[in-house]
């Protein structure tokens, strides 16, 4: 039994010392602490100094072995009081017949001198400490990777999240809220994302991965555009509506390099891979400029504007354009203008430029507040329709698709507006 418990303990040490996440000095420190705790319980002491004074603990972390040497003073049998620091003369002479009173005895304590429960306690304590250390290592490792791309294999797909396992067997979580709306995963496939945050929950590290973060798109550009990685081109800002559209402002530090052309690549060769990774997300790459008027103009691409007035103090901009450009500036569901606002930091209002081509007078939608609720008017303004005719030019189907209004509400609005011009 003694040989068996000794072998079991050595096997446990050999197993833990091979753990790739634990270096030799750290493993040695853990073993020393585990053995010290065992000695404290066996000799009923709490003082670390007493342990250091009475015992020499020699750890061989490479072999997964240790030795304990007990230092005691030889005293007369009748003066023996403390088993920790003293050994009786009769017991000392069992070790060596030449020992005399007052001399120091250093003898080895075998693992087999401990009981089975104590040996089991060493093993369990070692397992617990090693697991805690491994969790801390994972936490620190991924804490340093926040904002970086990681990849792993899909292990489990749940309704609210996906469990991913990296090459080292660490578990990563991709919540539904961090997934692109059109993401679909199957067990065993490889998934990439950016480390969004690392949390400690009930003593275990929780690594949250995101595919919707602007940092994910930024890292993808760094991987696929060497000029960004080399520092010749910098990404000034990225804004996204995941799975739908993104705008990326880039700037070149070398006049000979076209930042937009470098990011897009020949015939879109560089950006195509990024678009595929983001489930066909539409990406606009625009050159950054400190000229705010020009910057807003570029941010509203692909729409073309005729004039713009900017209030830098209030961070507002009034943009005027031809009627056929308004819908381009607004974008499907308002995505283009939302991203332009986020990219520039300016509140942008879009207006039609010039008088009506047919010469007939138009009426501002706000003139109808006595018949149409203000929140309904605001819904039309969000899609660039600020006058009666701008609404009537669009079909009911188009209005239903581009606004959040009910069909009955749109029918009422169209009826009111048509009656205005009939009268």
Q: Could you tell me if 286 and 248 are in contact, meaning their C-beta atoms sit under 8 angstroms apart?
A: yes
Q: What angle do CA 83, 85, 90 make, to 5 degrees?
A: 60
Assign 356 a pLDDT band (cuts: 50, 70, 90): very low
Q: pLDDT digits over 114-144, tens only?
A: 767 777 777 777 777 778 888 888 899 999 9
Q: Could you tell me if 36 and 51 are in contact, meaning their C-beta atoms sit under 8 angstroms apart?
A: yes
188: which 2 tokens?
């065993």
Q: pLDDT digits over 267-297, tens only?
A: 899 999 999 999 999 999 999 999 999 999 9
The secondary structure element, H or E, covering residue 339 is helix 335-344
Q: What is the mean pLDDT of residues 31-55?
A: 80
Phi and psi torsions of 115, nearest 5°: -75, 170
Choose between 175 and 334: higher pLDDT.
175
Q: What is the mean pLDDT of residues 336-346?
A: 95
CATH architecture of 213-281: 2-Layer Sandwich (3.30)
Handedness of CA 199, 239, 288, 316 (dihedral sign): negative
CA distances for 25 relative to 31, 32, 59, 140, 269, angstroms: 10, 11, 10, 18, 49
Q: What does DSSP say about strands 86-88 and 65-75: parallel, antiparallel, or unpaired? A: parallel
Choose between 113 and 390: higher pLDDT.
390
In whole numbers, what is the pLDDT of the chain averaged over residues?
Answer: 85
Q: Could you tell me if 325 and 305 are in contact, meaning their C-beta atoms sit under 8 angstroms apart?
A: yes
Residue 160 has pLDDT above 80, yes or no: yes
CA distance 135 to 200: 9
Residue 377 has pLDDT above 80, yes or no: yes
CA distance 48 to 37: 9
CATH fold of 149-212 reads OB fold (Dihydrolipoamide Acetyltransferase, E2P) (2.40.50)
Residue 360 has pLDDT above 60, yes or no: no
DSSP 279: T
Q: Which pLDDT does position 2 carry in this prediction?
A: 44
Give the dihedral of Cα atoms 91, 33, 57, 86; nearest 10 deg.
-30
CA distance 363 to 388: 6
Q: What is the CATH number of domain 289-354?
A: 3.30.300.20
Residue 222 has pLDDT above 70, yes or no: yes
Residue 85 has pLDDT above 60, yes or no: yes
| 249: three-class secondary structure by DSSP | strand
CATH fold of 2-138 reads N Utilization Substance Protein A; Chain:P; domain 4 (3.30.1480)
Q: Which residues contact 147 (CB under 8 A, 6 or more apart)?
A: 194, 195, 215, 219
Choose between 331 and 353: higher pLDDT.
331
Across 93-102, 106-115, 123-132, 340-349, which has the greatest mean pLDDT?
A: 340-349
């Amino acid at each position: 039994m003694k040989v068996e418990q000794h072998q079991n303990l050595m096997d446990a040490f050999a197993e833990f010392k091979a753990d790739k996440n634990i270096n030799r000095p750290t493993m040695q420190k853990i073993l020393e602490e585990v053995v010290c705790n065992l000695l404290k319980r066996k000799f009923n002491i709490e003082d670390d100094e007493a342990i250091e004074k009475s015992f020499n603990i020699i750890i061989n972390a490479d072999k997964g072995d240790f030795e304990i040497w007990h230092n005691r003073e030889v005293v007369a049998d009748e003066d023996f009081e403390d088993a920790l620091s003293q050994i009786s003369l009769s017991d000392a002479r069992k070790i060596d017949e030449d020992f005399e009173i007052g001399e120091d005895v250093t003898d080895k304590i075998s693992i087999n001198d401990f009981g089975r429960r104590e040996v089991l306690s060493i093993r369990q304590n070692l397992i617990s400490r090693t697991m805690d250390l491994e969790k801390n290592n994972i936490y620190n490792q991924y804490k340093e990777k926040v904002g970086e791309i990681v990849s792993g294999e899909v292990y489990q797909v749940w309704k609210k999240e996906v469990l991913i396992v990296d090459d080292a067997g660490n578990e990563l979580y991709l919540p539904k809220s961090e997934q692109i709306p059109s993401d679909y995963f199957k067990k065993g496939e490889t998934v990439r994302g950016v480390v969004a945050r690392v949390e400690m929950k009930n003593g275990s590290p929780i690594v949250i991965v995101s595919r919707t973060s602007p940092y994910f798109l930024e890292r993808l550009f760094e991987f696929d555009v060497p000029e960004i990685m080399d520092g010749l081109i910098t990404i000034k800002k990225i804004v996204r509506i995941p799975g739908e559209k993104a705008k990326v402002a880039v700037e070149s530090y070398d006049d000979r390099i076209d930042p937009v052309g470098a990011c897009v690549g020949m015939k879109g060769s560089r950006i195509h891979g990024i678009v595929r990774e983001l489930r066909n997300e539409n990406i606009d790459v625009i050159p950054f400029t400190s000229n705010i008027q020009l910057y807003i103009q570029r941010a509203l691409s692909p729409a073309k504007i005729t004039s713009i007035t900017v209030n830098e103090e209030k961070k507002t901009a009034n943009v005027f354009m031809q009627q056929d450009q308004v819908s381009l500036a607004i974008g499907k569901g308002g995505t283009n203008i939302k991203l332009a606002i986020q990219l520039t930091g300016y509140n942008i209002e879009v207006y039609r430029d010039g008088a009506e081509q047919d010469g007939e007078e138009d009426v501002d939608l706000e003139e109808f507040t006595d018949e149409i609720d203000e929140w309904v008017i605001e819904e039309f303004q969000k899609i660039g329709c600020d006058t009666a005719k701008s609404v009537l030019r669009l079909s009911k189907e188009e209005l239903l698709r581009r606004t959040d209004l009910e069909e009955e509400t749109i029918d009422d609005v169209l009826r009111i507006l048509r009656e205005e011009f009939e009268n």
